[in-house]
Amino acid sequence: MQEIYLTDREGISPSRTEQAIRQLIGQYPDLRNVLIIPPDYTRCYSYAGELTQILYRILSPHAAVHVMPALGTHMPMDAAERRSMFGDAIPDSAFLVHNWQADAIPIGTVPKAFTEEISGGLYGESIEAEVNWRLLEGRYDLILSVGQVVPHEVVGMANYSKNIFVGVGGRQMINKSHLLSAICGMERALGVVDTPARKVFDYAQEHFLSGLPLVYLQTVTTLSPQGTVSLKGLYIGPSRRPFELAAALSQELNIVHLEKYAKKVVAFLDPHELKTTWVGNKGIYRTRMAVADGGNLVILAPGVKAFGENPEMDGMIRRYGYKGREYILNLLRQGAFENRTMAAAHLIQGSSEGRFTVTYCTRPQLLSREEIQQAGYGWEDYGKAVSAYRPETLKDGWNTLENGEEIYFVRTPALGLWKVG
C-alpha cells in the first residue's frame, strides 16, 4: 500500500483525518472482514477512539467489522468506557474481548542467543511470541492496529508491534519482555526507540507476522490546558516507518525537559482513566527522572481501588510489594514469580529504590492506609491531600503553593515523560 504520513504541530483537522482514513480504505476495495485493534480506556487521550469510529463508519456498510481493544493484562472495558471512547455508533456486538490468559496461541520463538545479545548478557531466555487466535484464524482481509506513540516504561516508545504482542498477546511474551526490560533498566529505556524490548517485538514482527494483512495507524497527541486532545501526527502503513516518524514527533512533543530536579512532584491520576496502581504507576515511571534525590513524589489517586488489573496480579503485588530491585530479584531467584514474571517486572519498575519517597493519596474506602503501606508506599488521605494540592487550580509545571512550597505538577502522566536535561 501507499503509506500515509501527516504531521501538523498546530493540529490535524477532523476533515483531514477522515480524508487520510478514506485514502487508506480506498486502497483495499474488496474488504469483507476487518479487525480493528485500538487501545483500551487507559489510552483515552490517544485519539484512537475517534479513528476507530471513523473506520467503523466507513467500513461497516460493506464489510463485517470487529473491534478488539488491546487490553494486554488490563481489565475489560465496561459499557460506559466503550461509549466514552468509541461513541454510540459501534454496536456492542462488534466488540471482542481479548483474554490474555486463554485466547493467545504461540506463533514462534525469539531465540535465547538473540535476547542474550540485545541485553548484553543480562537476560538469557528464549521468548515465546503469542497472539490472539483470531488474528490467524479469523479470516480477516485487513487488520488495523490503531494506537498512540508516546514514551513508555517497558518498550521505550509505545505502540507499533507492542500493540499486537502485548495488547493482544499472551502470558509468555508479556512476562518475559517486561522482565527483560526491567532487568536492563527502565530509566535507560524511557523515551528511547530501539530498546531491548522493542528489539524483541521487531524480531517477532519480522519473523512471525509477515503473512498477516496488518496495517498500523500511529498517532501522536497532546493535551491542552482545557483538556482537549489534539492530533499532531498520524502515520499509516504496514512498515516500521510510520512508527519511526511518530516516535520522532513524540520525542519532540511529549518529553518535557526540566532545568532542575524537583524536591516535590505531584502527579494526578484521572479517576476515569486509571483505577489501579498497575496502570496508575505511570505517575511514577514518567516523572521519576524529574524527582530530586531525597525528594517526594505525591500521587493524587482518587479512583485507584486496587493494585492489579486482575486478581492474579493484584494478589502478587499485595504479597510482595514495591520494595526494590534487589528484594524482587532475590524472590525471583527463589522461584516466587514462576510464570508470573510480569509481576516481578512491575514491582521493580514501581519502586523508587529508596532514591525518593512515593506517597499515594487514595480514598480510604477504595484503598486503605494499611493496604498502601503494606505495598511499600507512603499514604495520605486523598481528601486531605487535595486541600494542599488542588489539581483544579494547579498549572502543569512549576507552582508555588500558598505556604511558599515549590512543587512540579503533572496533570496527565500517561501522555508524556518528564526528565532533567
What pLDDT score was predicted for residue 406?
97
Among 253, 286, 306, residue at a domain's last position: 253
* Contacting residues for 349 by C-beta, under 8 A, at least 6 apart: 153, 154, 182, 186, 281, 284, 285
Dump the DSSP string for 240-251: SHHHHHHHHHHH
Domain extent at residue 170: 4-253
Asked if residue 102 and residue 90 are part of one domain, the reply reads yes
Same domain, 183 and 277: no
Look-up of cell digits 517486561: 178
In terms of domains, do 161 and 293 share one?
A: no
**Other Cβ atoms within 10 Å of 228 Cβ, number:** 10
| Domain co-membership, 113 together with 187 | yes
C-alpha distances (whole Å) from 378 to each of 296, 322, 331, 356, 401 are: 10, 11, 23, 11, 21
pLDDT value, residue 131: 98
What is the predicted pLDDT for the residue at 96?
A: 97
Residues of the chain with pLDDT under 70: none
Residues 281 and 404 in one domain: yes
For residue 44, the model assigns a pLDDT of: 83
What amino acid occupies position 105? I
Model pLDDT, residue 75? 87
Number of domains in the chain: 2
Same domain, 299 and 181: no
Q: How far is CA 108 from the centre of its chain?
A: 24
Measured N-to-C along each axis, helices 48-59 and 79-86 cross at an angle, to the nearest 10 degrees, of 80
Q: Could you say which of 253, 275, 309 is where a domain stops?
A: 253
CA atoms within 13 A on the CB side of 89: 15
Q: Does 115 lie in the same domain as 13?
A: yes
The answer on 58 and 75 residing in a single domain is yes
Question: For position 146, what pLDDT does the model report?
Answer: 98
395 vs 55: CA distance, rounded Å: 35
User: What span, in angstroms and rounded, lies between the C-alpha atoms of 175 and 416?
Assistant: 24
> Domain holding 296: CATH number?
3.90.226.30
The stretches of 79-218 forming alpha helices (DSSP H) are 79-86, 112-118, 133-137, 162-165, 171-184, 196-208
Q: Which residues on adjacent β-strands are paired with residue 217?
A: 146, 236
d(CA 416, CA 18): 26
What residue ranges in 49-175 does DSSP mark as E strands? 64-67, 104-110, 127-132, 142-148, 151-152, 156-157
Alpha carbon distance 382, 113 (integer Å): 48
Last residue of a domain, one of 204, 222, 253: 253
Task: For residue 365, count other CB atoms closer than 10 A to its CB.
Answer: 7
216 and 126 in one domain? yes
CA distance 102 to 70: 15
Judgement on whether residues 190 and 287 belong to the same structural domain of the protein: no
Residues 272 and 240 in one domain: no
CATH number where 107 lies = 3.40.50.11440
Q: Are residues 286 and 410 in the same domain?
A: yes
